[in-house]
Amino acid sequence: MLQLREINQAYDTQHTLWDINLEVMQSSCSAIVGQQGTGKTTLFHCILGFLPIMSGEMTWQPKNTLPCSLVSLPCQQRTELGISYVAQGHPLFSQLTVEDNLLIALKAGQSNASPAAYSPMICELFPALLARRHQRSGTLDKGLQCQLALARAVITHPKLVLLDEPSEGLSPQEEDQLVAIVSALTRDYQISVLLMDNNLAFVSRVADNFTLLHHGRSVMKGTAADLAEFGGKERWAEKPRFPKAV
Residues in Cβ contact with 187 at an 8 Å cutoff, skipping those fewer than 6 apart? 27
| Domain chopping of the chain, boundaries | 1-82+160-246, 90-157
d(CA 103, CA 98): 9
- pLDDT of res. 230: 58
**238 or 89, which is more confident:** 89
- pLDDT of res. 110: 63
- pLDDT of res. 194: 98
- pLDDT tens sequence across 125-168: 999 999 999 999 999 999 999 999 999 999 999 999 999 999 99
- pLDDT of res. 36: 84
Query: Is residue 111 predicted with pLDDT exceeding 60?
Result: no
- pLDDT tens sequence across 35-86: 888 899 999 999 999 999 999 999 999 988 899 999 999 999 999 999 999 9
Length of the chain counted residue by residue = 246
Name the CATH superfamily housing domain 1-82+160-246.
P-loop containing nucleotide triphosphate hydrolases (3.40.50.300)
Residue 78 to residues 26, 75, 91, 108, 158, Cα–Cα distance (Å): 17, 5, 20, 14, 11
d(CA 128, CA 98): 11
Average pLDDT, stretch 196-220?
92
Contact 1, 192 (CB under 8 A): yes
Beta bridge partners of 23: 3
- pLDDT of res. 245: 41
Query: Is residue 88 predicted with pLDDT exceeding 50?
Result: yes
d(CA 235, CA 14): 27
Helix (H, G, I), strand (E, B) or coil at 233: coil
- pLDDT of res. 64: 85
